[in-house]
Amino acid sequence: MIHRVSVLLFSLMTVFQLPCTAQIENASMTTGPEKGTLFIVGGGRLSDDLINKFIDLAGGNAAPIVVIPTAGGGEKYDETYGDFLRIKGAKNVTVLHTTNPKEADTEAFISSLKNAKAVWFSGGRQWRLVDAYKGTKTEKMLWKILNGGGVIGGSSAGATIQGSYLARGDTKNNQIMMGDHEGGFGFIKNIAIDQHVLARNRQFDMFDILKNKPELLGIGIDENTAIIVTGDQFEVMGKSYVLIYDQSFWSREGSDLKNLPNKNAQFYFLRKGDKYDMRKRMVIE
């Protein structure tokens, strides 16, 4: 009798523990949006190829696109801040800006987002986007655009804000990797995204985050370079490189003969055309 009770208790514990284990695994998994596309650029001057690709992803020159330059820290922005898209043929561009989250939470403010097929976040400081839009109707509309098959794009601060962990989110300066703002919009879960990485010799900065949050996938994107995210995978586009921090190493020539550092100090490079699976944390060869 005692044996039967023990077996029953063990069986019940196993049944109830399985969902908990699955939840833990899912919580630490890096996943992209179920629908829509993310266009994440590492800053710097954007090549024509990158701008044209973003417009194409949005649906072409007639697609309604909203530009949000709030990260730049200006009090006001006029419509000229959408000219980088207009000169490449985009005909329906609106500039949207506020620093007041109460205004960002109104129907009047989000009216231009209701028909938008794409949104672009310009560079600056990513915490300003959090202060203005996090938890508001504006943020909800961003998700609605994605879930409708739309595109969220951005460069520099507009890249980092798309991740779940807000790298360089401190209001004092942009050299503090883990600051007083730590949550981004989370279009990709369990990830930290850095930018200007090689142009500013930032390739080792990501370890400041990962030594405290080793469950995160770290990605560093150099200037004039993008990752195009659909689902849990992305493809690299642009002139330079994307750095991957997933506690492993990858090389086209293999790694058997290489003298590598410990796993928690490794990173590797991807270039134009390379593809990566964020859920599996491995290069798609």
Distances (CA, A) of 43 to 122, 222, 238: 9, 7, 11
Mean pLDDT, residues 240-250: 97
pLDDT at 239: 96
Mean pLDDT, residues 55-74: 98
Contact 245, 206 (CB under 8 A): yes
Cα 150 to the chain's mean position, in Å?
15
pLDDT at 4: 52
Q: Does residue 59 sit within a domain?
A: yes
Q: Does residue 159 sit within a domain?
A: yes
Structure tokens at 265: 């100090």
pLDDT at 277: 98
Structural domain span for residue 46: 35-284
How far apart are alpha carbons 32 and 231 in whole angstroms? 5
pLDDT at 255: 87
Task: Report residue 27's pLDDT band, with 50, 70 and 90 as the boundaries.
Answer: low
Q: Does residue 12 sit within a domain?
A: no
- Could you give the 3-state DSSP secondary structure of residue 40? strand
CATH code of the domain containing 203: 3.40.50.880
Q: Does residue 52 sit within a domain?
A: yes
pLDDT (tens digit per residue) in 263-285: 999 999 999 999 999 999 999 99
Residues 6+ apart with CB under 8 A from 251: 258, 268
Of residues 276, 190, 194, 268, the one with CA closest to residue 228? 276
Contact 234, 228 (CB under 8 A): yes
Q: Does residue 245 sit within a domain?
A: yes
How far apart are alpha carbons 100 and 77 in whole angstroms? 14
pLDDT at 28: 82
Task: Report residue 23's pLDDT band, with 50, 70 and 90 as the boundaries.
Answer: very low
Q: Which range is least confidently modeled, 84-98, 121-135, 178-192, 246-260?
A: 246-260
Domain total of the chain: 1
